Amino acid sequence: MLTSRLNPVELTQELVRFNTINPPGNEDQICEYLQGILETAGFECKKIEFAPRRTSLVARIGACSSSSPSICFTGHVDVVPLGARAWQFEPFAGLIEDGKLYGRGSSDMKSGVAAFVVAAVQTAQMTKSGAGVTMIITAGEETGCEGAFHLAASKEIVDFLGPAGCFVVAEPTANEPLLGHKGAYWLKAKTEGITAHGSMPERGDNAFYKLAKAALTLEKFTFDTPVHPLMGQGTLNIGTAKSGININSVPDAAEMTLDIRTVAGQSHSHIYGCLCKALGSAVQLDTIIDIEGVFTPANDPWMEKVFECCTAINGVRPTEKTVSYFTDASALKSAIGNPPTVILGPGQPEMAHQTDEFCYVNKIEDATKLFSNLILDWQQS
């Protein structure tokens, strides 16, 4: 595709046509395709794999330095499975009907990636002699941000990107800016005992009883941190529990998984200490996922500019909002210098992971204009 005629809607269609269901992902081909577009427009690119065919792509143009930090965009190109329900529209065709572009990933979030890639290409002549633009296009977001964490741990990639002065996460928000999202702290709680025949339980030590007591303790557990004005309070949920090998044995091991969603200002290490104290030495806690939350206040100068740009495009002043799900920003934000961060993209948030997923065509076009305006404003500032 010629970059001079790059169209964000057509690019979204092309990206949807790559089957990147995770697992297995196979994001390598879509990243090679985007690399060709970006290099033609003058961007430097690097690819990084966290597993075979699990490729992420980073790109830069302009200074991208400590004295002239870039505006950075991120988006993932893996998508979730199709689900059991039949699709009315072929999920990898990128068909457009009644102003809607259908397909798996159309909203979450290949439209967002297409919009910022086109915006970056369209403004490349200005940004190559300015502060610059960086892009982080990740694999493996849907199953725990593996690609983003792997990328953030690479000194070569972090040095290549340089520091960012502001950060746009193009997840589906229908072009409404979100100030942040909760963190995810997933733990496995395990207890041990001694097995015995089920007819002689007194000879054993039932691990499940210990786990059940721990679960009841967690039912009453409360966080000791203040309520966040937008995010509310953190939450804790026991998602799974298992114990025993058969009905007539005393179980010598039991475990359950905890899904904790944290708000800005909550320390995961502090929560861990509080849980250990509440549960006691009989319960062992192991970390599954440790993803910090993200939040930038609305009175941040750059966020105020984002709100102005969104007002101009959408025709209405945005309200201050956050979301409960997490994004790659948790893995990437500190690696690029902890810039102010907005979650902002053309996809319909309610269509993420849905059968017959779609994105409104006009939202893709508007997002491209919005991202272009943010790029140009950043270079001028």
pLDDT confidence bin for 3, thresholds 50/70/90: low
Q: How far apart are CA 364 and CA 185, in angstroms?
A: 33
Q: Is the domain of 170 the same as that of 260? A: no
Which of 291, 308, 343 is the last residue before a domain boundary?
Answer: 291
Which value, to the nearest 10 degrees, does the dihedral of the CA atoms of residues 220, 225, 226, 230 take? -90
Q: Is the domain of 284 the same as that of 302? A: no
Q: Is the domain of 174 the same as that of 279? A: no
Which of 267, 291, 315 is the last residue before a domain boundary?
Answer: 291
CATH of the domain at 130: 3.40.630.10
Contacts of 125 (CB under 8 A, 6+ apart): none
Looking at residues 235-260, what average pLDDT do you find?
98
Instruction: Please report the pLDDT score of residue 4 as a whole number.
Output: 58
Q: Is the domain of 48 the same as that of 161? A: yes
The predicted-structure confidence for 298-326, as pLDDT tens digits, reads as follows 999 999 999 999 999 999 999 999 998 89
- CA distance readout (Å), 214 to 51, 157, 348: 37, 43, 40
Q: How far apart are CA 74 and CA 150, in angstroms?
A: 15
Predicted confidence (pLDDT) at residue 144 exceeds the cutoff of 80: yes
Q: How is 198-214 classified by DSSP, letter by letter?
A: TT-GGGSB-HHHHHHHH
How far is C-alpha 9 from the chain's CA centre? 22
Q: Is the domain of 300 the same as that of 158? A: yes
Active site residues: 78, 141
User: Is the N-terminal amide bond of 351 cis, ω within 30° of 0?
Assistant: no
Q: Is the domain of 174 the same as that of 189? A: no
Q: Is the domain of 231 the same as that of 324? A: no
Q: Is the domain of 32 the same as that of 122? A: yes
Residue pair 30/18 in contact (Cβ under 8 Å)? The answer is yes
Residue pair 15/110 in contact (Cβ under 8 Å)? The answer is yes
Q: Is the domain of 278 the same as that of 321? A: no
Q: Is the domain of 174 the same as that of 197? A: no
Q: How far apart are CA 274 and CA 278, in angstroms?
A: 6
The predicted-structure confidence for 189-219, as pLDDT tens digits, reads as follows 999 999 999 999 999 999 999 999 999 999 9
The predicted-structure confidence for 43-83, as pLDDT tens digits, reads as follows 999 999 999 999 999 999 999 999 999 999 999 999 999 99
CATH of the domain at 284: 3.30.70.360
Instruction: Please report the pLDDT score of residue 325 as a whole number.
Output: 87
Q: Is the domain of 23 the same as that of 82? A: yes
The predicted-structure confidence for 6-17, as pLDDT tens digits, reads as follows 999 999 999 999
> What 8-state DSSP symbol labels residue 232?
B
Instruction: Please report the pLDDT score of residue 1 as a whole number.
Output: 46
SS3 166: strand
Number of domains composing the chain: 2
Question: How many other C-beta atoms lie within 10 A of the C-beta of residue 46?
Answer: 16
Q: Is the domain of 236 the same as that of 337? A: no
- Give the domain extent around 199: 183-291
Q: What is the mean pLDDT of the chain?
A: 97
Which of 233, 264, 291 is the last residue before a domain boundary?
Answer: 291
Q: How far apart are CA 151 and CA 139, in angstroms?
A: 10
Look-up: residue for tokens 């397909």?
103
Instruction: Please report the pLDDT score of residue 63 as a whole number.
Output: 97
